[in-house]
Structures are given as structure tokens and as C-alpha cells.
């Protein structure tokens, strides 16, 4: 009996011919899958040092080894840094919207390929930020889990999409202020009942699509550390930059 893969391969080739690779930003035809057109690529702002030693918000100039931003000096984070591939912007947002709502789950691989360089050296477990079961049922997938699985395959790092649970539904956070967001996600995450043994002593990369205020990842980080994680690093596709970094210096 022919395997399902061998049966589907001609179908995949036919689909590839009928539907050529498209830029994740503007939809124009590109040479290969998971690439951006030159214009969209040029508009992406890739994040890298110099940056805050604690949260990795980029600085406009090198402030010296161990320098921290004002926010981290005032309130040191519990996580081990926020590692984002790109700054939040029109193209970065378009990829996320097409991934989540536009029927383009393969764009998770596009994001993962650009995030992979920031996987921490000590990372031995990738954990996606979870969706509540009702939102997961409506959408059909968790975009953070798709990204985590793509990174895991490429980097050879274990992925546990069921370790962290969002056991209470939350309102859409878009449009809320930082304090409102923090209140909305308070006490909504937990480690799965059988997950503590899988988590204890592990260096976790918490995977998400967009990092905005940090309310969601802060809540997840607190839960993971209480349950025994050795460290938690935030790994995301895009990061919203405020006045504390980037062009403001």
C-alpha cells in the first residue's frame, strides 16, 4: 500500500505550480517559499545588539556591557530576556494576520526561520503561549504552537504544546492599557497537572507571535518559574517598541 506521503506528493507539486510562493508581507510572487519580496524585506527592522542586558530592548548606541534600560533598572524582570526577530510594523503585522486569520499556517515557518537565530544556547524546551480551548476550537490552531513546532524541527529542540494551559477565557487584549492587560491575564494560566515533572530544571523558551506590553508573557513566566523551570526566555516574531529603546535611545 502506498504511503499517504507518496500519494499526496503529486498533489503538493500541483498546488505549488498553481499557487506560486507569495511574499508574507504584500502577497507578491517570490522565488521560493518563506521569503519576502525586496521591498518588504527592506522595511523589516531586525533586532540585535546593542540592547538592554535584561530585556533585550534595542539601544540606539552601545551603552557598555551589562547596561539596562530604565524600565529594567526600576523593575528587574523575572524572565531571561525578550528575543524578537523584528520590530512590530506593517509587514510584521501582516504576516501575523495572514497566519492567524488568512488561512496561511505555513507563515509560521516563515516567522520561525527568522526567529531561530535567537533561540538561547541553553534552551532545552520550547513552550508556546496557549490559547483558551474555546478560542482554539474557533480558530482551529494555536499560531504560537505552529511557530514553536517549526523552530523545534529546525533547531532540534523539544516542544511541549500542552505543558502550559490557559484555563480561563480572557477578553481580547488589543486596545487595553498595560494595567488592564495585566489584570485580564491574572490567574488564567497554569502548568498541566502532569507537566511539572517535564518542566523541572528546564531552560524554557516561551514562544509567542507578538510581544506587546508583556502582560501575557509575564503571567506565563511566573507560572513556569513557580512550577520549577530553571529559566524562561521570551522568544517572539515581533516586538512592539516603546520609548525605552530603539530610535529614542
DSSP 110-141: HHHHHHGGGS-TT--EEEEPPPPHHHHHHHSS
Return the exposure string of 57-90: e unless at least 16 CB atoms fall within 10 Å of the residue's CB, then b: bbbeeeeeeeebbebbeeeebebbbbbbbbbbee
pLDDT in tens, 35-65: 999 999 999 999 999 999 999 999 999 999 9
Question: What band does 245 get if pLDDT is binned at 50, 70 and 90?
Answer: very low
Alpha carbons 80 and 165: distance in angstroms, whole number = 21
What residues contact 70, with CB distance under 8 A and at least 6 apart? Answer: 244
Average pLDDT, stretch 184-195? 83
pLDDT at 168: 73
SS3 237: strand
Write down the pLDDT at residue 246.
37
CATH class, domain 44-248, is: alpha beta
pLDDT number for residue 6: 46
Residue-wise pLDDT tens digits, 61-96:
999 999 999 999 999 999 999 999 999 999 999 999
Q: What is the pLDDT of residue 169?
A: 66
Domain-wise residue ranges, the chain: 1-41, 44-248
Per-chain mean pLDDT for the chain: 87
3-state DSSP assignment of residue 107: helix
- What phi and psi, each to the nearest 5 degrees, are found at residue 206? -90, 115
- 246 conformational bin, left if phi > 0, alpha if psi -120 to 50, beta if neither: left
For residue 118, what pLDDT is reported? 97
Query: Percent of the chain at pLDDT above 70?
Result: 83
pLDDT at position 11 over 50: no
Give one DSSP letter per residue of 10-42, joined into a string: HHHHHHHHHS--B-TTT--B-SSTT---HHHHH
Give CA–CA dist 132/243, Å, rounded. Answer: 32
- Size of the chain in residues: 249
pLDDT band at 180 (very low <50, low <70, confident <90, very high): low
Which of 175-184, 198-207, 222-231 bottoms out in mean pLDDT, i.e. has the lowest?
175-184
In this prediction the pTM is 0.86
User: From residue 16, how far is each of 24, 99, 140 by CA, in Å?
Assistant: 16, 18, 23
pLDDT the model gives residue 178: 63
Separation of alpha carbons 193 and 182, rounded Å: 24
Residues 148 and 180 sit within 8 Å (Cβ to Cβ): no
Q: Which range among 3-7, 80-84, 175-179 has the greatest average pLDDT?
A: 80-84
> From CA 249, how far away is CA 81, in angstroms rounded?
18
Amino acid at each position: 500500500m502506498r504511503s499517504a506521503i507518496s500519494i499526496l506528493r503529486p498533489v503538493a507539486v500541483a498546488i505549488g505550480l498553481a499557487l506560486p510562493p507569495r511574499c508574507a508581507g504584500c502577497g507578491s510572487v517570490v522565488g521560493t517559499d518563506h521569503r519576502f519580496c525586496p521591498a518588504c524585506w527592506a522595511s523589516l527592522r531586525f533586532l540585535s545588539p546593542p540592547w538592554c542586558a535584561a530585556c533585550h530592548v534595542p539601544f540606539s548606541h552601545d551603552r557598555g556591557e551589562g547596561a539596562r534600560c530604565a524600565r529594567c533598572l526600576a523593575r528587574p524582570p523575572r524572565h531571561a530576556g525578550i528575543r524578537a526577530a523584528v520590530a512590530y510594523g506593517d509587514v510584521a503585522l501582516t504576516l501575523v494576520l495572514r497566519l492567524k486569520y488568512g488561512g496561511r499556517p505555513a507563515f509560521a515557518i516563515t516567522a520561525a526561520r527568522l526567529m531561530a537565530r535567537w533561540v538561547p544556547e541553553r534552551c532545552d524546551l520550547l513552550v508556546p503561549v496557549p490559547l483558551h480551548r474555546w478560542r482554539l476550537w474557533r480558530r482551529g490552531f494555536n499560531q504560537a504552537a505552529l511557530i514553536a513546532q517549526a523552530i523545534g524541527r529546525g533547531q532540534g529542540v523539544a516542544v511541549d504544546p500542552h505543558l502550559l494551559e490557559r484555563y480561563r477565557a480572557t477578553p481580547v487584549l488589543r486596545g487595553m492599557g498595560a494595567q488592564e492587560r495585566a489584570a485580564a491575564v491574572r490567574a488564567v494560566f497554569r502548568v498541566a497537572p502532569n507537566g511539572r515533572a517535564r518542566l523541572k530544571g528546564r531552560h524554557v523558551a516561551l514562544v509567542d507571535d507578538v510581544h506587546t506590553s508583556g502582560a501575557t508573557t509575564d503571567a506565563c513566566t511566573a507560572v513556569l518559574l513557580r512550577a520549577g523551570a530553571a529559566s524562561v526566555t521570551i522568544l517572539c516574531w515581533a516586538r512592539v517598541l516603546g520609548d525605552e529603546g530603539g530610535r529614542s535611545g
